[in-house]
Structure 1
Amino acid sequence: MKKFNSKSCEEIMTTVYRPIEFCIDNLLAQGLYILAGAPKVGKSWLALDMCLSIAKGEKVLGQQTTQGTALYLCLEDSYVRIQNRLYEITDEPTERLHFVIMSESIGNGLEEEIENFKNEHYDLKVVFIDTLQKVRNESESSYGTDYKELSVLKALADKLEIAIIVVHHTRKCKDSDPFNMISGSTGLSGCVDGSMVLIETKRGSRNAKLYCVGRDIENAEINLQFDSDLKKWVVTDEPSAPKSKANIFLAALYVYIKKKIDFSGTASELIEKLKSVSDETFYPNRVTRDLVCNGYTLRKYGIDFEYKRTRNCRLIILHYDRERDSSDSKNTSEVTVNRLTLKV
């Protein structure tokens, strides 16, 4: 008899899962994405800039990247054209960026090629496929066929824990919702984890807006300008990112537990203790969430976290092991957690 493999609400909310990794902060996480735009609008320049930035661990569009190997399937280009573009955008080559000009199609070997590449390059973070049409088998575009084809790439991205971005075209017709302009059925948008649509404010103006939406990212509209000298899109109104409350909590927790080594008590009791190291106001109903969702970060900082339910209350048990603290903060008077610095 077949049965569901279910998990209770409490089990899910108290289990430390491996967090989703971002290739580009706030823009690109593990999963399947679409980057769409009109022909010759500059999608390939943006894709190349993202790949190169991830390979070098440098900022792109004002956002931090997680360094690793990047694979760019330039299926409409030649190596000569790729070489010319690379010399336009950088004078420092990197071993972490790889290019392919021929590949198999979806369901006919493409997934195996990407998986084999991943096996040879364990730190693979991102794969760009330029363009989607070059790896499709179906000429018909219906919700069912679109969803089915992209589901293969979606499953592959989830399995390999990488980001796969398919470069695609937009329709000629205008729409108040830019995501409705993605060519094909809504099966494409429905299957992917996120979509980015690059639209010029006026054709040929080299001023554009990048519309972003996704499951793991905040909806965003980023104003861009194409720098003809640098050959890359640059942000013209880079917003200042607000400090994350969770980051402040983690920094305060680290400062406290580094001194006290052990803690056992309720969320309210922990908040009282944190008042000795931070003036920030924390709330008991958020403490467990912040601990569970950042469990992997805590381990890197030598902090073990256990959540135990008793008859009377829910206990939070913490222990700090300096020998397992891989941070740069254990021997300094400053603490940096998730890029937030807190003075001790």
Structure 2
Amino acid sequence: MMEKMKTTAPVSSVGADGVQPNVKNHNEIIANSQEQINQQATKNPEKSGNDGLHTMSMPELYDTVFVPRVPIVDGFLYGGTYLFVGAPKVGKSFFMAQLAYHVAMGIPLWDYPVRKGTVLYLALEDDYARLQRRLSGMFGIECADNLYFATQAKTLNEGLDRQLEGFLKERKDARLIIIDTLQKVREVGGDRYSYSSDYEIVTKLKSFSDKYGICLLVVHHTRKLESEDSFDMISGTNGLLGAADGAFIMHKKKRTDNEAVMDIVGRDQPDQKLTIEFDRERCVWKFKKAETELWKQPPNPLLEAINVFLTDRQAWEGTATELVNQLPDMQLQANVLSRRLNTVNSQLFNDYGIFYDNKRGHERKIILKRLEAKE
């Protein structure tokens, strides 16, 4: 049974000596080809009407196997496009370096398991000498071979997407790209602060992250005006947050404080409010407390049964009816079993490390395979 992860519990240090908490999840991401990541379904939705509108009925939706959504940092950061917002000099760049290093090394971030993968950090307000000083002060001389930096990049209308595509083609296991900051890559125009332009730029970034199955984390600034809702402090219009998959807001009561509050909201993770503290000696952010316990999905009896079924075998292939016969305690009909597995595919993949597919053909075959961490 999967244990609940409590962000209110004492935590280990956040540097390279972090210890993996006792949770069931794999802490290394399982690499897929770009084609497999980008695949949205095993069948195309039907076209309906003369305008070519793509539709999918509810039965078709339930009968489709979608590619699992694999977290970058479990319970904290997922694939898609996210904003990371804070006032200038609040410590955003230190946290970006810390996050990038942890993902590249596969080291847990506080209590959050990390899925190891290649990281690209566009530190567009820094130079390489400053990055060298910052990183060596934070992590010593232990290097992450799959962590890459760039201090210059094109804007979106100049070809940033082509630059990033070139990087991803060379490094198939890339999972996280940090853009620090948004202002450095956005198009300059007279209406750059309008809702439509804000929505459009994040939509472009989101289209890219969805296409390649990665996470784009975009650093941005807060406005000077205070607000009771911290997300209203994002500089620009609501179009930025409206188009993004989520946002992180880092703010302090006073600029000289070591403590900061991080508000988190997103489509794939629960809303959270964390209190973190800056270790000025090591220049890393340490976890202090969470306002609420991080919610975890309860154990699923069907997935537990699948996990037990694969205990003595690495893989299995057969029809839904044959699988039903292997799981008599579930008392499910074959079509119900298939649909249930389709809808919990991501949980089966992330929590148990089991790949599932429902192959279409002359006879539909279910495939179950227990994966190794780096498979």
Checking the alignment, whether the CA contact within 8 Å between 1:154 and 1:192 is kept in structure 2 is yes
In 1, the alpha carbon distance for the partners of 2:356 and 2:70 equals 20
> Partner of 2:306 in structure 1?
253
> Partner of 2:40 in structure 1?
none
Shift of 1:264: 5.7
Normalised TM-score (structure 2): 0.73
In 1, the alpha carbon distance for the partners of 2:311 and 2:243 equals 44
Instruction: Please state if 1:48 is matched with 2:100.
Output: no
Shift of 1:10: 0.9
> Partner of 2:20 in structure 1?
none
1:106-139 deviations in whole A, cap 9, x for unaligned?
Answer: 1211111011110111111111111111112225
Evaluate the alpha carbon distance shift between residue 229 and residue 251 of structure 1 in structure 2; reply closer, same or farther with a 3 A threshold: farther
Does 212-221 or 134-143 show the bigger shift?
Answer: 134-143
SS state of the match for residue 107, structure 1?
helix
Shift of 1:161: 1.0
1:166-213 deviations in whole A, cap 9, x for unaligned?
Answer: 101001211111111000011111111111100113332111111111
Shift of 1:43: 0.5
Shift of 1:42: 0.4
> Partner of 1:244 in structure 2?
297
> Partner of 1:180 in structure 2?
232
Does 296-305 or 37-46 show the bigger shift?
Answer: 296-305
Counterpart pick for 1:292 among 328, 342, 352: 342
Shift of 1:215: 1.2
- Structure 2 residue identity aligned to 1:293: T
Instruction: Please state if 1:4 is matched with 2:64.
Output: no
The aligned length equals 311
Evaluate the alpha carbon distance shift between residue 303 and residue 144 of structure 1 in structure 2; reply closer, same or farther with a 3 A threshold: closer
Name the Cα RMSD after superposition. Answer: 3.4
In 2, the alpha carbon distance for the partners of 1:30 and 1:66 equals 12
Evaluate the alpha carbon distance shift between residue 107 and residue 325 of structure 1 in structure 2; reply closer, same or farther with a 3 A threshold: same
Q: Superposition pairs for residues 316-335 of structure 1, below 5 Å?
A: 324-326=369-371
> Partner of 1:166 in structure 2?
218
1:57-93 deviations in whole A, cap 9, x for unaligned?
Answer: 1111421111111011111111110000110111211
- Structure 1 residue identity aligned to 2:149: F
Evaluate the alpha carbon distance shift between residue 258 and residue 57 of structure 1 in structure 2; reply closer, same or farther with a 3 A threshold: closer
Does 113-122 or 242-251 show the bigger shift?
Answer: 242-251
SS state of the match for residue 158, structure 2?
coil
SS state of the match for residue 155, structure 1?
helix
Evaluate the alpha carbon distance shift between residue 10 and residue 184 of structure 1 in structure 2; reply closer, same or farther with a 3 A threshold: same
- Structure 2 residue identity aligned to 1:111: D
Evaluate the alpha carbon distance shift between residue 52 and residue 303 of structure 1 in structure 2; reply closer, same or farther with a 3 A threshold: closer
Checking the alignment, whether the CA contact within 8 Å between 2:359 and 2:366 is kept in structure 1 is yes
Evaluate the alpha carbon distance shift between residue 242 and residue 218 of structure 1 in structure 2; reply closer, same or farther with a 3 A threshold: closer
Does 2-11 or 180-189 show the bigger shift?
Answer: 2-11
1:130-172 deviations in whole A, cap 9, x for unaligned?
Answer: 1111112225301011112222211111111111111010012
Q: Based on CA coordinates, which of the two structures has the bigger radius of gyration?
A: 1
In 2, the alpha carbon distance for the partners of 1:66 and 1:98 equals 17
> Partner of 2:24 in structure 1?
none
Question: Unaligned stretches of 5+ in structure 2?
Answer: 1-49
In 1, the alpha carbon distance for the partners of 2:321 and 2:170 equals 47
Q: Superposition pairs for residues 182-331 of structure 1, below 5 Å?
A: 182-237=234-289, 241=294, 244-246=297-299, 249-256=302-309, 273-274=329-330, 290-295=340-345, 297=348, 301=354, 324-326=369-371
Checking the alignment, whether the CA contact within 8 Å between 2:270 and 2:295 is kept in structure 1 is no
Shift of 1:240: 5.6
Counterpart pick for 1:145 among 190, 194, 197: 197
Percentage of pairs with the same residue: 31
Instruction: Please state if 1:107 is matched with 2:165.
Output: no
Normalised TM-score (structure 1): 0.79
Instruction: Please state if 1:66 is matched with 2:122.
Output: no
Shift of 1:289: 6.0
Evaluate the alpha carbon distance shift between residue 84 and residue 240 of structure 1 in structure 2; reply closer, same or farther with a 3 A threshold: same
Question: Unaligned stretches of 5+ in structure 1?
Answer: 276-281, 308-315, 329-344
> Partner of 1:311 in structure 2?
none
Checking the alignment, whether the CA contact within 8 Å between 2:65 and 2:357 is kept in structure 1 is no
In 2, the alpha carbon distance for the partners of 1:83 and 1:201 equals 30
